[in-house]
Amino acid sequence: MFKKTVIFAAAILMMVSVAMIPASHGADFSGKTIRWIIPFNVGGGSDVWARLYSPYMQKNLPGNPIVAIKNMPGGGSIIGGNYFHMRVKPNGLTVFGSSGSTSFPYLLGNSKVKYDFSQYQIVFASSTGGVAYINPDLGIKSAADLKGFTKELVYASQGATSLDIVPLLAFDMLGLNVKAVFGYKGRGSGRVAFEQGEVNIDYQTSTAYIKNVRPLIKMGKGVPLMTWGILDANGNVVRDPIEPDLPCFPEVYAMVHGQKPSGPAWNAWKTFMVAGFGVQKAMWLPKKTSPDVVAAYREAAAKTIADPEFQKVVDKSLGGYKQMAGEDARKAFDQVLSVDPADKAWLISWIEKKYGVKVK
């Protein structure tokens, strides 16, 4: 009897021990190459972001597959997004990297958009910031000099419904005389246009600004004006830690107009700034991707974000902004999907009147 009791107890302990071992997600990408579609040109903020993440995802995905960046620019990122939606199989071998420029046409109901973020599985997401800068030949030394400035400024834009909504509306609210030249395929192309003297005002997301614009400023070829800012715990737009000495947009607005921003333009700008920068970039798996594959990707992303070496990369190259994996990313993006209808309606009207662009 004692022997049977011991055997039974041992069996129970073994069952408990096995139960405590984390379940294997079953996915294995050994010998595989994973395509990561980035719907922008090489050198832009999204491209830089993906190339910073890719070696760590290679290390942390089961089987250590090659993660190859596939740049697919066009249509302000709509071409790449539509390709992902219509052509990619849910086998875990192709993922998509979205940006605010991909989210905005979707949120605004652009008829060319076929992709639908509500259907996909988010892997991780990154918040970021943006910094506006100007050609020094214009005589502007700081944002304070923008008050009463009437010279024509030229801005290289991806489109009136892209992430450029944030800078274009900001420039308009400041009363600047900005001519938007549409048709550029990414912020990387916009920066090159600035460097070549084709345009004289630009902005870059933080990743590209840190890598590509700070050197220009050090050489005296650019003057930083402002950041868009970030949200604090109370929902206020405050200075961005990437450039804490620069004023954020609402501060510059107060410099120019003598009062804090308010009204429908401000509400729309703030709403889309949060949508475009608070959850600015994300990796997605297609609809119907198996739970095992989704779990493997999310686990790899969580390991990447927790890696001390990667945290140094985040601080140095991504500005130290928040990185979110799995459910944290999903909850954050749910906020993006819940844009206030009144703010959306005002913004659509402004775009159509200002630029003659039919949003839908």
Local mean pLDDT, 10-residue blocks, the chain (360 residues) = 39 36 67 97 89 97 98 92 97 96 90 95 94 97 96 94 94 97 89 96 90 94 96 87 94 97 94 89 96 97 97 87 92 85 92 90
Query: Which pTM value belongs to this model?
Result: 0.76
Residue 27 lies in a domain: no
Q: Which residues face 345 on adjacent strands? A: none
Spatial separation of the C-alpha atoms in residues 8 and 3, rounded to whole Å: 9
* Final residue in a domain of this structure, among 238, 258, 276: 276
Both 211 and 251 in a single domain?
Answer: yes
CB 37 within 8 Å of CB 47: no
Domain span at residue 208? 130-276
Predicted local confidence at residue 340, as pLDDT? 87
Both 192 and 115 in a single domain?
Answer: no
Residue 21 lies in a domain: no
Both 248 and 157 in a single domain?
Answer: yes
Residue 346 lies in a domain: no
What is the domain count for the chain?
Answer: 2
Q: Per-residue pLDDT tens for 17-26?
A: 333 334 445 7
* Final residue in a domain of this structure, among 257, 276, 295: 276
Predicted local confidence at residue 101, as pLDDT? 85
Both 213 and 319 in a single domain?
Answer: no
Residue 355 lies in a domain: no
Spatial CA neighbour of 252 closest among 275, 232, 224? 224
CB 32 within 8 Å of CB 65: yes
Predicted local confidence at residue 31, as pLDDT? 96
Both 163 and 242 in a single domain?
Answer: yes
From first CA to last CA, the distance across the chain in angstroms is: 79
**Identity (one letter) of the amino acid at 146?**
L
Both 65 and 89 in a single domain?
Answer: yes
Residue 65 lies in a domain: yes
Spatial separation of the C-alpha atoms in residues 157 and 187, rounded to whole Å: 8
CB 281 within 8 Å of CB 39: no
Q: Per-residue pLDDT tens for 57-112?
A: 999 999 999 999 999 998 889 999 999 999 999 999 999 999 988 998 899 988 99
Both 42 and 140 in a single domain?
Answer: no
Both 111 and 228 in a single domain?
Answer: no
Both 254 and 327 in a single domain?
Answer: no
Residue 309 lies in a domain: yes
Both 332 and 230 in a single domain?
Answer: no
- Can you list the alpha helix ranges (DSSP code H) found in the chain? 2-20, 45-60, 78-87, 100-107, 165-173, 187-195, 206-208, 214-218, 249-257, 264-273, 291-306, 308-317, 327-336, 341-355
* Final residue in a domain of this structure, among 233, 258, 276: 276
CB 128 within 8 Å of CB 319: yes
Predicted local confidence at residue 45, as pLDDT? 83
Predicted local confidence at residue 25, as pLDDT? 55
Spatial separation of the C-alpha atoms in residues 68 and 249, rounded to whole Å: 37
112-148 b/e (C-beta count within 10 Å ≥ 16 → b)? ebebebeebbbbbbbbbbbbbbbbeeeebeebeebee
Both 200 and 245 in a single domain?
Answer: yes
**Identity (one letter) of the amino acid at 256?**
V
Predicted local confidence at residue 359, as pLDDT? 86
Both 244 and 152 in a single domain?
Answer: yes
Classify 313 as helix, strand or coil: helix
Spatial separation of the C-alpha atoms in residues 142 and 225, rounded to whole Å: 6
Q: What angle do CA 308, 311, 313 make, to 5 degrees?
A: 120
How many angstroms separate the Cα of 115 from the Cα of each of 16, 234, 341?
45, 33, 20
